[in-house]
């Protein structure tokens, strides 16, 4: 009988720690597993051998620091997970296995004024199509992660009133998609998923304290503290886009005036350049023109960086993150945005926090949120079936 505190229960807990560490990282060497779990090298070696014999993990030769090592990953046939990213102007879906291999991925435009029902219909069709394209059994789907560009009530799971998709306010995307697909669905806002994506897959791998700042149709931050997403009791932590820069400034969609968002978000930035470049201008084109040396585009991007520094400074002073990852459409400008941001940061952040802060461009680009949705499933799903044994490993 397995009792709390027994050797059998301790062994099972260690098995679960190893499986969770590998699942969140995609693959780890045995030395990396020992460091991340705090288990001894001998215990890790015994557990890996047991998991390999049961078919839970796969072991492949690799190298680490110039020395031979073994890479541990979960079995490729252990199941698949789905990521769905509803953006302001797009829908993106990705399918991955538990070894972090993306098996299929696609994106298509999404009309910002479409209803929630239309969005759910299109997402369901795309998910089913991509699962079929992988050749995987739909019964192997372990869960779906879903991102939306707006706050999610932590208790009810309902999209709040400041959503970037007004036709979706009051909807319950997790419940709706779970009923359609017949699997657990985990929902979060796009900035949180961007943070998870960069933490697990991108520019912030191995960083326990970070902020992901998304500058696109709106401005929001995903916060990681101690390696975990911090959402706050109401699910609205990280809404730095609504810091007040100018009380007499433009009216924001939240109802206040002069929010950071009204100085940095794409819908407010593009009109500044319309007189010189005409209607139909996109942020992608602005970035391209700036790289070619267009003075107006370079000035607007630099000004945006300086405005965003206010939000980064607030995060720096309050949470003291080690890394801030900047994502979203305007982040593609790279140093044209980040250099002015870093320079202005000294005005808003206390020196001790600013000196220890690294500000970088996101590594995942437009894929950050959909990969973060996959990471959300990996972090929230229950433990896989583990091998049974009568006695713990020595």
Residue 146: C-alpha distances to residues 143, 205, 370, 376 (Å): 10, 21, 8, 9
Q: Rounded CA gap, 332 and 285, in Å?
A: 11
CA 243 to chain CA mean position, Å: 22
**352 contact partners, CB below 8 Å, separation of at least 6:** none
Contact status, residue 106 vs residue 122, Cβ threshold 8 Å? no
CATH class of 203-362: alpha beta
| Number of other residues whose CB lies within 10 A of the CB of residue 266 | 21
DSSP 152: B
- Which CATH number fits the domain 7-74, given the four candidates 3.30.559.10, 3.40.50.300, 1.10.3720.10, 1.10.10.10? 1.10.10.10
Q: Do domains 80-195+372-380 and 203-362 have the same CATH topology?
A: yes
Domain boundaries of the chain, sorted by first residue: 7-74, 80-195+372-380, 203-362
Q: Rounded CA gap, 212 and 192, in Å?
A: 8
Task: Map residue 282 onto helix, strand or coil.
Answer: coil
Q: How does pLDDT run along the chain (394 residues), one tens digit per residue? A: 455 567 888 888 888 888 888 888 888 898 989 998 899 999 999 999 998 888 888 888 888 777 888 888 888 777 899 999 998 888 999 999 988 889 999 999 987 667 888 999 999 999 999 999 999 999 999 999 999 987 787 778 888 765 567 778 888 999 999 999 999 999 999 999 999 999 999 999 889 999 999 999 899 999 999 888 999 888 889 999 999 999 999 999 889 999 999 999 999 999 999 999 999 999 999 999 999 999 999 999 999 999 999 999 999 999 999 999 999 999 999 999 999 999 999 999 999 999 999 999 999 999 999 999 999 998 887 655 555 554 333 3
**77 contact partners, CB below 8 Å, separation of at least 6:** 97, 140
| CATH fold of the domain at 80-195+372-380 | Nucleotidyltransferase; domain 5 (3.30.420)
Residue 171: C-alpha distances to residues 147, 149, 178, 204 (Å): 13, 13, 13, 32
Predicted pLDDT at 393: 38
């Amino acid at each position: 009988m397995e009792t709390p505190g027994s050797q059998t229960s301790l062994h099972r807990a260690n098995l679960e720690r190893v499986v969770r560490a590998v699942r969140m990282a995609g693959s780890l060497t045995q030395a990396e597993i020992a460091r991340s779990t705090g288990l001894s090298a001998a215990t890790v070696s015994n557990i890996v051998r047991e998991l390999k014999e049961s078919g839970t993990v796969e072991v492949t030769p690799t190298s680490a620091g110039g020395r031979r090592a073994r890479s541990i990953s979960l079995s490729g046939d252990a199941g698949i997970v789905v990521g769905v990213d509803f953006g302001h102007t797009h829908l993106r879906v990705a399918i991955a296995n538990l070894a972090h291999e993306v098996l299929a991925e696609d994106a298509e435009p999404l009309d910002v004024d479409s209803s929630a029902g239309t969005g759910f219909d299109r997402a369901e069709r795309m998910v089913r199509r991509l699962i079929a394209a992988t050749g995987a059994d739909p019964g192997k789907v372990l869960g779906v992660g879903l991102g939306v560009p707006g706050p999610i009530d932590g208790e009810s799971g309902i999209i709040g009133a400041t959503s970037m998709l007004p036709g979706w306010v009051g909807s319950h995307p997790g419940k709706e998609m779970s009923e359609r697909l017949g699997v657990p669905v985990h929902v979060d806002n796009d900035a949180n998923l961007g943070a998870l994506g960069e933490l697990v897959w991108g520019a912030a791998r191995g960083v326990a304290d970070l902020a992901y700042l998304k500058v696109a149709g709106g401005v929001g931050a995903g916060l990681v503290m101690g390696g975990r997403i911090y959402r706050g009791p109401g699910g609205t932590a990280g809404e730095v886009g609504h810091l007040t820069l100018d009380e007499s400034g433009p009216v924001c969609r939240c109802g206040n005036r002069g929010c950071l968002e009204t100085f940095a978000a794409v819908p407010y930035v593009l009109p500044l350049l319309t007189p010189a470049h005409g209607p139909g201008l996109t942020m992608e084109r602005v970035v391209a023109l700036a790289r070619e040396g267009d003075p107006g585009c370079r000035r607007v991007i630099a000004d945006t960086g300086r405005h965003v520094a206010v939000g980064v400074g607030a995060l720096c002073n309050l949470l003291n993150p080690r890394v801030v990852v900047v994502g979203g459409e305007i982040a593609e400008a790279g140093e044209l945005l980040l250099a002015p941001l870093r320079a202005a940061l000294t005005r808003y952040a206390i020196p001790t926090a600013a000196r220890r802060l690294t500000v970088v461009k996101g590594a995942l680009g437009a894929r950050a949120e959909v990969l973060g949705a996959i990471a959300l499933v990996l972090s929230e799903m229950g433990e896989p079936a583990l091998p049974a044994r009568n006695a713990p490993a020595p």
